[in-house]
């Protein structure tokens, strides 16, 4: 099959211009108004394509149905992609298309210090001759995960245009707030009505992921003892200093900047402090639950030592479960992964899997009972102004989804 790359590119460029950066300090779902803008656009586009049961829920989930073309009784599958972008940079891109990339450095015009070269970006060597899309240097491109959205939309459009292709019922779900670990917390799985899912939220061609970090969040709060600094001796307890001591006690060898592969980490992501009050927010990551428990225990010991050193301070440490390694459930029934591997082979690619040093909505969905591995959609250098995607790689993801729909028909009894 040959996906319509003109339509695919047009959709992607349209989506990335909308600022959908999420906000983990917002109590709402979605967490930002810009996500509603893209969700409403997708709702309208799905209706224009002619899908059934298109709805935008009160919590920002766009759901739709691509009706089955096969008469066989086939499990319903769902395709997911998230509308939000990461919190660290603006998300309204000025996308630039670099046709037939020839290997020369790509300098991003709004910040010439941001550049892509073959030496610093090895994946570019696999994309010589491809049409690449970047942002302009000061924002995210938003290919995480708008390349996933465009891929799903293009696959749906192709299947609608080719009703002779046999497939079962396919449910579409575009969701908010994946980047702040809330992506599917308010999704009603009964309303979704699927037996298996796939997130389109991966990187290089052929990728099919079924193992992620397990994740917790932690918050340390310190209430000091206030005093006029001129008369503070033996009275004041400085919360800011205690926060500094806590941070200094964190094991550097278990930090993101010192770990790779399957090693987990403890990562302080924010610290606010005054003499009276301090707050430190952290994330804990590990592929194994025992490792995650060890990270918790390390923080509890550091906190206990701090309390012993300054008994007049009120120090609290709280943990919140975020998501768990989806491998624990998927390894019990690998058919969703095996079917995706076959679809990838039919698209002319070699399937490959690795342990993701992060999470996807599939982590939470799988834990909740909906097996949901993760499929590539071409994104690279995500969460940075150098983010880029190959149009040809996105087209391969579209092709993979179309084949995947057929594999489910063939492999169902």
One domain, residues 364 and 304: no
115 shares a domain with 71: yes
Q: Are residues 187 and 246 in the same domain?
A: no
The CATH number of residue 236's host domain is 3.30.70.360
Q: Which of helix, strand or coil describes residue 49?
A: helix
Identify the band that residue 200 occupies on the pLDDT scale cut at 50, 70 and 90: very high
User: Among the options 177, 178, 286, 393, which is catalytic?
Assistant: 178
Mean of pLDDT values over 203-230: 95
Please report how many Cα atoms fall inside a 13 Å half-sphere around the Cα of residue 183, on the Cβ side.
27
Same domain, 33 and 149: yes
Q: What is the DSSP string of 125-136?
A: GGGTTS-EEE--
The fraction of the chain above a pLDDT of 70, given in percent, is: 100
Verify that 84 and 72 share a domain, yes or no: yes
Q: Of 397, 343, 13, give the one whose Cα is nearest residue 203.
A: 397
Give the up-direction half-sphere exposure of residue 377: CA atoms within 13 A in the CB hemisphere: 30
The number of folded domains in the chain is: 2
328 — pLDDT class (breaks 50, 70, 90): very high
> Dihedral of CA 11/15/17/18: which sign?
positive
Helix locations, 142-274, DSSP H: 143-161, 189-192, 239-249
Spatial distance between the Cα atoms of 382 and 194, rounded to a whole number of angstroms: 29
Same domain, 43 and 126: yes
Q: What are the angstrom distances between the C-alpha of 184 and each of 16, 122, 177, 343?
A: 22, 33, 8, 26
Same domain (yes/no): 253, 350? no
Residue 215 in tokens:
């994740």
Point out the catalytic residue in the list 45, 84, 177, 361. 84
Same domain, residue pair 205 and 239: no
Of 291, 322, 353, which residue is a domain's last? 322
Both 357 and 223 in one domain: the answer is: no
Residues paired with residue 81 on neighbouring β-strands, in sequence order: 174
Q: Render pLDDT for 22-31 as a digit per residue (tens, 0 to 9).
A: 999 999 999 9
Contact criterion met (CB below 8 Å) for 154 and 3: yes
114 with 27, same domain? yes
- Looking at 266, 287, 322, which one is the last position of a domain? 322
pLDDT the model gives residue 67: 97
> Can 84 be counted among the known catalytic residues?
yes
Q: What is the pLDDT of residues 106-158, one digit of tens each?
A: 999 999 999 999 999 989 999 999 999 999 999 999 999 999 999 999 999 99
User: Which residues form the domain of 166?
Assistant: 5-212+325-411
Sheet holding 379-380, edge to edge: 96-98, 132-134, 388-390, 379-380
- Domain final residue pick, 290, 322, 354: 322
Query: Each residue of 220-256: b (16+ CB within 10 Å) or e?
Result: bbbbbbebeeeeeeeebbbbbbbbeebbeebeeebee
Q: Check whether residue 347 and residue 304 sit in a common domain.
A: no
178 catalytic per annotation = yes
- CATH number for the domain that contains residue 93: 3.40.630.10
Q: Residue 218 pLDDT more than 90?
A: yes
Instruction: List CB contacts of 122: < 8 A, sequence separation 6 or more.
Output: none
166 and 307: one domain?
no
Residue 198 burial (C-beta neighbours within 10 Å; 0-12, 13-18, 19+): buried
Which strand (E) or helix (H) includes residue 213?
A: none
Tell me: pLDDT of 413 over 90.
no
Integer Cα distance of 96 and 391 in angstroms: 12
């Amino acid at each position: 099959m040959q996906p319509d790359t003109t339509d695919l590119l047009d959709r992607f460029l349209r989506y990335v211009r909308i600022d959908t950066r999420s906000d983990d300090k917002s109590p709402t779902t979605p967490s930002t108004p810009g996500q509603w803008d893209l969700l409403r656009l997708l709702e309208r586009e799905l209706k224009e394509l002619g899908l059934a049961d298109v709805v935008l829920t009160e919590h920002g989930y766009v759901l739709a149905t691509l009706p089955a073309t096969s008469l066989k009784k086939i499990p319903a599958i769902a395709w997911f992609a998230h509308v939000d972008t990461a919190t660290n940079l603006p998300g309204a891109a000025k996308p630039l298309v670099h046709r037939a990339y020839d290997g020369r450095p790509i300098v991003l015009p709004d910040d010439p210090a941001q550049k892509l070269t073959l030496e610093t970006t090895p994946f570019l060597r696999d994309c010589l001759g491809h049409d690449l899309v970047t942002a302009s240097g000061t924002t995210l491109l938003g290919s995480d995960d708008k390349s996933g959205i465009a891929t799903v939309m293009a696959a749906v459009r192709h299947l609608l245009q080719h009703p002779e292709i046999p497939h079962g019922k396919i449910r579409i779900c575009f969701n908010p707030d994946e980047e702040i670990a809330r992506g599917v917390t308010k999704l009603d799985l009964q309303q979704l009505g699927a037996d298996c899912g796939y997130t389109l939220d991966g990187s290089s061609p052929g990728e099919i992921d079924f193992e992620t970090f397990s994740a917790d969040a932690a918050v340390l709060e310190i209430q000091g003892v206030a005093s006029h600094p001129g008369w503070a001796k033996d009275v004041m307890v400085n919360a800011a200093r205690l926060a500094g001591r806590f941070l200094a006690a964190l094991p550097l060898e278990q930090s993101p900047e010192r770990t790779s592969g399957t090693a987990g980490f403890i990562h302080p992501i924010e610290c606010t402090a005054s003499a009276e009050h301090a707050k430190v927010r952290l994330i804990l990551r590990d592929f194994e639950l025992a490792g995650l428990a060890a990270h918790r225990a390390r923080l509890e010991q550091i906190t206990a030592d701090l309390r012993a050193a300054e008994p007049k301070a009120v120090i609290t440490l709280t943990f919140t479960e975020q998501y768990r390694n989806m491998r624990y459930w998927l390894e019990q029934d690998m058919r969703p992964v095996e079917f995706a591997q076959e679809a990838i082979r039919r698209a002319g690619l070699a399937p490959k899997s690795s342990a993701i040093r992060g999470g996807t909505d599939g982590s939470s969905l799988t834990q909740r009972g909906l097996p949901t591995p993760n499929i590539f959609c071409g994104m690279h250098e995500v969460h940075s102004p150098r983010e880029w995607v190959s149009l040809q790689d996105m087209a391969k993801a579209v092709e993979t989804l179309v084949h995947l729909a057929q594999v489910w028909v063939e492999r169902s009894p």
